[in-house]
Amino acid sequence: MLTKFEKRAMAYILALLMCASMVLVPGTAVFAKEEDSVDEVEILESADGYYYWEREDGTIGISGYEGNEKELVIPSTLDGHTVSWIIWGAFSGNETIEKVVIPDTVTAISYHAFSGCENLKEVTLPSGLKEIGSSAFLRCSSMSSILVPKTVEEIGANALGYLNIESIWNEEDDTWTYEGEKMPDFTILGYEGSAAQAYAKENDIAFAALAEYNDVNQGDWYYRYVNWAYANGLMKGYENGDFGPADNLTRGQFAIILHRYEGTPDVTEKSTFPDVADGLYYSDAIIWAKGTGVVGGYANGNFGPDDYMTREQLATMMYRYAKYKGYDTEKGTDLTAFPDAGNVTEFAETAMSWAVAKGLITGDNGNLNPQGTANRAVTATIMNRFVEAFGE
């Protein structure tokens, strides 16, 4: 346990470091507010692998992490205190974290909070986030995109999409300038007119505008995946402004999603399925999928474009698409850990084993539910996992 003297000494040292950072990086947004002075912030004990400070308002800021989780879900409370802040450098240089979910109680992420997390691929930002500090995600080289909530009002310099920053001192006017190496193929997902769009434009970083669906809200488990699918042109909403996350997906609709993911290649052949006429909205996608071996149809020769897609059918089409692309399809897993493994149809066993091994399908309340239908939110999620798994 730290003595009172040790706590004050450490707070003083950290305060000096913060001031030094402010000198070295002019214009950096500092999220320690004026009320969070050395006298008003006390370093407390660690909890659950986290170190934190208590702020004057009783909330806390996470200042460090010593765990080794690859998929980290930061808690919203520690020792009864609400987590409202990720302090400067809290996770900087962590080489273990691949995915992180930041709780909705957090309103500010300070500078260099996650810098140098080179294996970090996926970040879920809190729905009430207001500020992202300078270089907060600098050198997070495994990230390909980040979804920025509409609530964000300020994004600091080089916070998103940069690999390295070079500081150049100009002696003539006593100023620093910065030249940064940007991450290739990095995209910021955000809303029209938002701070995210302004940051992307100012830094010449790709920006994908999100749809504002009536039935998809920040805080929904599928929020990130639905918006990702929309931003990447894979799934669209209805004319009434809904996305229909719980609506079941048809076989024809899933063929369209895969066709779009492939870049919508031209189709010159005619349909060979009796129940798929030429010229319908799903015709080209199904013809393409049949030609590539992604779909094969039923034993009676039909495709069933309007039939609801089952989870095992979805896994099978994904498996065949992966084989078509030359991706690794050898690795499987033992499905007997699921109590309903016996319900998997023989034709889908290899595909389901592969999909579970790759993390595309993680179970439905502990079951595989292979005959259950795949709704639109689940489909968006599985497509996102597929892209993450194969680096597309």
Residue 118 contacts residue 97 (beta carbons within 8 Å): no
One domain, residues 203 and 311: no
Residue 196 contacts residue 148 (beta carbons within 8 Å): yes
One domain, residues 53 and 88: yes
- Which amino acid would we find at residue 353? S
Q: Does 242 score more than 60 pLDDT? A: yes
- List, for residues 46-64, the tens digit of each pLDDT value: 778 999 999 889 999 999 9
Q: What is the pLDDT of residue 86?
A: 97
One domain, residues 192 and 255: no
Report the mean per-residue pLDDT for the chain: 87
- Please report, for residues 96, 178, 209, 298, 304, the alpha-carbon distance to residue 270 in angstroms, rounded to integers and kept in the order given: 50, 57, 36, 18, 17
**Domain hosting residue 328, numbered range:** 234-390
* Listed range (3-17, 197-211, 222-236, 334-348) with the worst mean pLDDT: 3-17
One domain, residues 42 and 118: yes
Tell me whether residue 357 is in a domain. yes
CA angle 128, 132, 135 (to 5 degrees): 160
- List, for residues 129-159, the tens digit of each pLDDT value: 999 999 999 999 999 999 999 999 999 999 9
Q: What is the DSSP string of 318-382?
A: HHHHHHHHT--------GGGSTTGGGS-GGGHHHHHHHHHTTS---BTTB--TTSBPBHHHHHHH
One domain, residues 268 and 330: yes
* Listed range (61-70, 120-129, 176-185, 219-228) with the worst mean pLDDT: 176-185
One domain, residues 269 and 330: yes
Tell me whether residue 228 is in a domain. no
Q: Does 19 score more than 60 pLDDT? A: no
One domain, residues 266 and 306: yes
Q: How confident is the model at residue 164 (pLDDT cuts 50, 70, 90)?
A: confident
Top mean-pLDDT range of 2-11, 198-207, 357-366: 198-207
One domain, residues 36 and 178: yes
Calculated CA dihedral for residues 92, 96, 102, 108, nearest 10 degrees:
0
Tell me whether residue 217 is in a domain. no
Domain boundary among 209, 226, 244: 209
Q: What is the DSSP string of 221-281?
A: TTHHHHHHHHHTTS----TTS---TTSBPBHHHHHHHHHHHTT-----SPP-STT--TTST
Residue 377 contacts residue 225 (beta carbons within 8 Å): yes
Phi, psi of 378 (to 5 degrees): -65, -40
One domain, residues 181 and 310: no
Q: What is the pLDDT of residue 173?
A: 76
The span from the CA of 380 to the CA of 245, in Å, is: 9
Q: How confident is the model at residue 167 (pLDDT cuts 50, 70, 90)?
A: low
Domain boundary among 209, 225, 245: 209
The span from the CA of 29 to the CA of 135, in Å, is: 10
The two three-digit tokens of residue 213, written as one number: 């669906």
Tell me whether residue 180 is in a domain. yes
Tell me whether residue 26 is in a domain. yes
Q: Does 8 score more than 60 pLDDT? A: no
- List, for residues 288-342, the tens digit of each pLDDT value: 999 999 999 999 999 999 999 999 999 999 999 999 999 999 999 999 999 999 9
Q: How confident is the model at residue 349 (pLDDT cuts 50, 70, 90)?
A: very high
How many domains, the chain? 2
Tell me whether residue 214 is in a domain. no
Q: What is the pLDDT of residue 180?
A: 76
CA angle 282, 285, 290 (to 5 degrees): 120
Q: DSSP secondary-structure letter at 148?
A: P
Tell me whether residue 80 is in a domain. yes
Top mean-pLDDT range of 24-28, 43-47, 163-167: 163-167
Here the CATH number for the domain that contains residue 168 is 3.80.10.10
Q: Does 244 score more than 90 pLDDT? A: yes
For residue 98, the tally of other CB atoms under 10 A from its CB is 16
Q: How confident is the model at residue 123 (pLDDT cuts 50, 70, 90)?
A: very high
Tell me whether residue 247 is in a domain. yes
